[in-house]
Amino acid sequence: MTEQINTERIERGRFRGLRDIWTRMKRNRLAMVGLVIIIILVITAIFADYIAPYGYAEQNLANQYQTPNAEHWFGTDELGRDIFSRVVYGSRVSLRVGFISVSISMTIGVAIGAITGYYGGKIDNILMRFIDIVQALPDILLAIAIMAALGPGLTNLMVAVGIAAIPGYARLVRSSVLSLRDQEFVEAARANGSSDARIILKHIIPNCMAPIIVQATLGVAYAIINAAGLSFIGLGLEPPTPEWGAMLSGGRAYIRDYPHMTLFPGLAIVLTILALNLLGDGLRDALDPKLKR
């Protein structure tokens, strides 16, 4: 009975904590604007088949290079494809790359950071020196090297972008674990006979989630930028798959005469990155314990 009461108290405490975070988030208008934009983008990606008036690979050479009009809202490209439809389908690709690559980097990075921070010693030295080697290369350069080795493709793109971002999560979690591993609640868990795996998974990592969530939100923005950059230089997705960076690359040859071919995919990238950064900043402020009232 006592255990059930304690569990109910913990659940109520978590609910109040989430409610407080949401209350602080609502006070940040820019963060809410970013959240609304992200929700719209996610809905667009999910229902792209119903929103886009044309197929992303549907060609009509009689409609080449049309500027924005009532029939083609964003105009058409060099093959007569509807740019609005390709931007809509491109949101599905870009968001998938962003979220899945961040999931890859976060899972591996959190595991490495938690292990090195908790155990220290030789394990810490070996793994962190490996992280130092990986971090010595810029993210985009490492992603280029991985893509050059693996070849083009959606799965390879997500893996390349995800691996390039692992060091950031590993260092973030390691620093958090170092500050938590000697806390009283961890010592109490050890005294109760909890295994190291249980202590890390049930006690330490949940207390590191606030910075991880913020890092992941901003990481999605960086992943989309890196994916667009790889596609722009021809190492991303192969045609005719619509990806905003690939659309920019395809339209750069016509930018002087038909700027709409690069304008709208570029605006899509800018709007998405801006929304993710606004949301990330808002989450950072909402999750900051110093702002609790």
| Cα separation, 88 vs 84, whole angstroms | 6
pTM recorded for the entire structure? 0.83
**What DSSP designation does 83 have?**
H
As a whole number, mean pLDDT of residues 254-268 equals 90
- For residues 109-146, one letter each, b for 16 or more C-beta atoms within 10 angstroms of the residue's C-beta and e for the rest, the string is bbbbbbbbbbeeeeebeebbeebeeebeeebbebbbeb
Residue 10 has pLDDT above 50, yes or no: no
Mean pLDDT of the chain: 84
Domain ranges of the chain: 32-49+75-172+210-287
**What DSSP designation does 203 have?**
I
Nearest to 17 by CA among 290, 257, 287: 287
As a whole number, mean pLDDT of residues 8-30 equals 66
Query: pLDDT for 51-88, tens place per residue?
Result: 999 888 888 888 888 889 988 899 998 888 999 999 99
| Cα separation, 241 vs 238, whole angstroms | 6
CATH 1.10.3720.10 applies to domain 32-49+75-172+210-287: yes
Least confident of 5-14, 169-178, 240-249: 5-14
**Torsion from C-alpha of 124, 129, 131, 134, nearest 10 degrees:** -170
Query: 260 forms bridges with which residues in the sheet?
Result: none
| 237 CB neighbour count, 10 Å cutoff | 21
User: In percent, how much of the chain has pLDDT > 90?
Assistant: 19
Q: Give the residue carrying structure tokens 């407080």.
A: 20
Residue 220 has pLDDT above 50, yes or no: yes
Query: pLDDT for 144-201, tens place per residue?
Result: 888 888 888 888 888 999 998 899 899 999 988 888 887 888 888 888 888 878 888 8
Band (pLDDT 50/70/90 cuts) for residue 5 is: very low
